[in-house]
C-alpha cells in the first residue's frame, strides 16, 4: 500500500484543476501547519490581545475580591479629590499671598538697595519653591509632598549685608521624603521652619485630647443608645433621644463657649492650658464629649432598632434567651459592626474638626493655632496647604481602616470571595 503524504492545503487551494474535496478535509493527513507558520500577527493585534487578557484578569480579580475592589476605588477617588483640592487651594493661596513675606526677618538690618532687595527676594522665593511660572510652582509642590521620592531641601539660611548686596553666610539642608514647605509668617513660627516640624509638635496635643474624648464618648454613648432602643418610645427613650437631638442642633461654638464660661465663671478653673492644672485638661475633654456623644447615641439607637426587627432576634427570643443576652450578645454584635466602622472616621474628624474650637478657647497648642494664624493676618500658604494635605490624607487612611475593621469584625465579610 502506497504511503500518503500530507496534503498541502495552499497548493490545492490555488490548483483549480485539483480542488480540496470533502474527503481531503476529513483526512488525518490534512494540515494547515505551513499556513500557521507564515501567518504572523501584527504588533497591534498582539498588543490588543495582551490588553484583553490583562483586562480579563483585572476583572476576574475584582470579582473575586469585591470588598478590596470597593476599598481601592475609595482610595483612588479620595486621592483624586485630594489632588484637585491641593491644586485649587494652592492657586487661591498663591493669588492672595504677598511675595515680600518670603524675605528674611532681618531684612531691615541689611540696608539693601531696591535692586539688591529684589535679587534677594528672588533667591528666597526659589528656596521656598514659589519662584517662576505658577504651573512650575505647583509641580514642584506636588513633587515635594509625594512620599516616594527623596528630596534635599533648604530649611534655613543666614544672610548678612555686603558691599554688593546680601551675602549668604550659611545654609542648612535636609533630606526628607515628605516636604510640606517652610513657614514664612513670624506669627506662626520662625520663618524657614519646616511645616512638618510644627505639625509634629502640635499633633500629639490634638490627637491626645481628641482620641480620649472619642473613646469616652463611645463608652458612654453605646450603653445609652442600646438602652434607648430597648425602651423604644418610652420615657427614658424620649429623654435620651430628645437631649441628643437637641445637642446635635445646637451650634458647636455655643457648646464650647457655654462650657468654657461654666468652667471659668461658675467653677473658678483656669482657662489657659499653660496653667497645668487637671481641670484645665478636664473641661476641654468634657466639651468634646458633649459635642461627639449625641451623634453616637442616635447612631447606636438606630442601628440597634434595625437589628431588632430581623428574624434572628425573634428566633433568639423563642429559644428562651434573656432580654439582656439578646440585646448585648445577639443584636449589638451585628449592630456594633456598623458602629465600630465609624470609630476611625470620628477620630480623624475630631483631630481636624471639632477639637479646633476647643483648642482655640482653652489655648491648647494643637493644630488649630497654626491653621487659624495661617488663614488670618499674614497668609502662610504652605501651612494652609500642609494642613489641607495632611487632614485629607488622614481622612483617606481612616476610611481605609474602617473598611478593614469591617473585615476583622464581621465573619460574613472578606477581602476575597468566599467559596463553599
Per-residue pLDDT tens for 370-384?
888 888 766 788 888
Is residue 239 scored above 90 in pLDDT?
A: yes
SS3 of 8, please? strand
Examine residue 290 and state whether it is found in any structural domain, yes or no: yes
Q: What is the pLDDT of residue 4?
A: 47
State the Cα angle at 355 between 179 and 296, rounded to 5°: 120
Domain end position, chosen among 179, 204, 234: 179
Q: In 150-304, at which residue ranges do the beta strands (DSSP E only) sit?
A: 151-162, 165-176
* Confidence category of residue 408, pLDDT binned at 50, 70, 90: low
Examine residue 33 and state whether it is found in any structural domain, yes or no: no
Is residue 112 scored above 80 in pLDDT?
A: no
The phi and psi torsions of 160 (rounded to 5 degrees) equal -135, 155
What's the average model confidence in pLDDT over 275-288? 84
- Split into its structural domains, the chain has a count of 2
Question: Does 211 share its domain with 251?
Answer: yes
Question: Does 203 share its domain with 149?
Answer: no
Dump pLDDT digits (tens) for 193-236: 888 888 888 888 888 888 899 999 999 998 898 888 888 888 98
What's the average model confidence in pLDDT over 335-355? 78
Q: What is the pLDDT of residue 420?
A: 43
* Confidence category of residue 25, pLDDT binned at 50, 70, 90: low
Examine residue 209 and state whether it is found in any structural domain, yes or no: yes
Examine residue 97 and state whether it is found in any structural domain, yes or no: no
d(CA 415, CA 127): 46
The cell numbers describing 158, all together, are 543666614
Q: Which residues lie closer than 8 Å to 85 by C-beta, 6 or more apart?
A: 388, 392
Residue 134 contacts residue 94 (beta carbons within 8 Å): yes
* Boundaries of domain holding 316: 196-409
Question: Does 307 share its domain with 237?
Answer: yes
Q: What is the pLDDT of residue 22?
A: 65
Dump pLDDT digits (tens) for 87-101: 888 888 888 777 787
Residue with cell string 500500500: 1
Domain end position, chosen among 127, 152, 179: 179
Is residue 297 scored above 80 in pLDDT?
A: yes
* Confidence category of residue 289, pLDDT binned at 50, 70, 90: very high
SS3 of 305, please? helix
Q: Which residue has the higher pLDDT, 146 or 14?
A: 146
Q: What is the pLDDT of residue 419?
A: 44
Question: Does 237 share its domain with 268?
Answer: yes
Question: Does 157 share its domain with 210?
Answer: no
Q: Which residue has the higher pLDDT, 63 or 4?
A: 63
pTM here?
Answer: 0.70
The separation between the first and the last C-alpha atoms of the chain, rounded to the nearest angstrom, is 59
Examine residue 62 and state whether it is found in any structural domain, yes or no: no
CATH number, domain at 299?
1.10.3720.10
Examine residue 70 and state whether it is found in any structural domain, yes or no: no
d(CA 162, CA 177): 35
d(CA 24, CA 12): 10
Question: Does 144 share its domain with 270?
Answer: no
Question: Does 201 share its domain with 249?
Answer: yes
- Residue 350: strand pairing partners: none
* Confidence category of residue 13, pLDDT binned at 50, 70, 90: very low
The cell numbers describing 25, all together, are 478535509
* Confidence category of residue 159, pLDDT binned at 50, 70, 90: low
SS3 of 155, please? strand
Question: Does 369 share its domain with 330?
Answer: yes
* Confidence category of residue 166, pLDDT binned at 50, 70, 90: low
Q: What is the pLDDT of residue 318?
A: 76
Examine residue 244 and state whether it is found in any structural domain, yes or no: yes
Is residue 246 scored above 90 in pLDDT?
A: yes
Q: What is the pLDDT of residue 413?
A: 55
Q: What is the pLDDT of residue 1?
A: 46
Question: Does 247 share its domain with 144?
Answer: no
Residue 216 burial (10 A CB sphere; 0-12, 13-18, 19+)? middle
Question: Does 166 share its domain with 283?
Answer: no
Q: What is the pLDDT of residue 242?
A: 92
Question: Does 270 share its domain with 386?
Answer: yes
Q: What percent of the chain has pLDDT over 90?
A: 7
What's the average model confidence in pLDDT over 13-23? 57
Question: Does 234 share its domain with 325?
Answer: yes
Mean pLDDT of the chain: 78
Q: What is the pLDDT of residue 240?
A: 92
Domain end position, chosen among 147, 179, 211: 179
Q: Which residue has the higher pLDDT, 359 or 157?
A: 359
Examine residue 65 and state whether it is found in any structural domain, yes or no: no
Dump pLDDT digits (tens) for 123-135: 878 778 788 888 8
Amino acid at each position: 500500500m502506497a504511503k500518503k503524504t500530507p496534503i498541502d492545503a495552499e497548493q490545492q487551494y490555488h490548483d483549480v484543476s485539483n480542488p480540496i474535496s470533502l474527503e481531503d478535509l476529513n483526512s488525518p493527513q490534512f494540515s494547515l501547519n505551513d499556513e500557521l507558520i507564515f501567518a504572523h500577527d501584527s504588533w497591534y493585534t498582539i498588543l490588543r490581545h495582551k490588553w484583553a487578557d490583562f483586562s480579563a484578569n483585572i476583572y476576574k480579580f475584582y470579582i473575586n475580591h469585591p470588598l478590596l475592589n470597593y476599598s481601592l476605588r475609595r482610595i483612588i477617588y479620595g486621592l483624586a479629590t485630594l489632588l484637585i483640592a491641593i491644586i485649587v487651594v494652592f492657586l487661591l493661596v498663591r493669588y492672595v499671598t504677598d511675595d515680600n513675606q518670603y524675605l528674611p526677618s532681618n531684612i531691615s538690618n541689611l540696608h539693601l538697595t531696591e535692586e539688591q532687595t529684589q535679587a534677594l527676594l528672588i533667591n528666597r522665593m526659589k528656596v521656598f519653591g514659589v519662584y517662576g511660572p505658577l504651573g512650575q510652582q505647583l509641580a514642584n509642590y506636588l513633587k515635594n509632598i509625594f512620599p516616594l521620592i527623596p528630596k534635599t531641601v533648604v530649611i534655613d539660611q543666614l544672610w548678612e549685608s555686603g558691599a554688593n548686596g546680601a551675602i549668604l553666610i550659611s545654609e542648612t539642608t535636609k533630606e526628607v521624603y515628605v516636604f510640606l514647605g517652610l513657614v514664612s509668617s513670624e506669627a506662626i513660627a520662625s520663618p524657614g521652619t519646616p511645616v512638618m516640624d510644627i505639625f509634629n509638635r502640635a499633633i500629639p496635643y490634638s490627637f491626645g485630647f481628641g482620641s480620649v474624648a472619642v473613646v469616652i464618648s463611645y463608652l458612654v454613648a453605646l450603653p445609652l443608645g442600646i438602652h434607648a432602643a430597648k425602651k423604644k418610645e418610652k420615657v427614658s427613650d424620649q429623654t435620651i433621644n430628645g437631649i441628643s437631638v437637641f445637642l446635635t442642633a445646637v451650634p458647636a461654638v455655643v457648646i464650647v463657649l457655654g462650657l468654657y464660661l461654666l468652667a471659668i465663671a461658675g467653677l473658678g478653673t483656669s482657662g489657659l492650658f499653660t496653667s497645668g492644672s487637671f481641670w484645665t485638661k478636664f473641661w476641654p475633654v468634657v466639651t468634646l464629649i458633649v459635642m461627639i456623644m449625641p451623634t453616637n447615641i442616635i447612631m447606636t439607637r438606630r442601628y440597634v432598632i434595625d437589628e431588632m426587627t430581623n428574624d434572628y432576634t425573634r428566633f433568639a427570643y423563642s429559644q428562651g434567651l434573656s432580654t439582656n443576652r439578646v440585646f448585648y450578645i445577639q443584636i449589638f454584635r451585628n449592630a456594633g459592626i456598623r458602629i465600630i466602622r465609624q470609630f476611625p472616621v470620628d477620630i480623624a474628624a475630631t483631630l481636624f474638626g471639632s477639637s479646633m474650637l476647643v483648642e482655640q478657647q482653652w489655648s491648647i497648642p494643637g493644630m488649630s493655632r497654626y491653621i487659624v494664624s495661617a488663614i488670618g493676618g499674614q497668609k502662610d500658604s504652605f501651612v494652609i496647604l500642609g494642613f489641607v494635605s495632611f487632614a485629607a490624607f488622614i481622612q483617606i487612611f481612616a476610611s481605609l481602616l474602617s473598611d478593614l475593621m469591617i473585615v476583622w469584625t464581621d465573619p460574613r465579610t472578606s477581602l476575597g470571595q468566599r467559596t463553599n
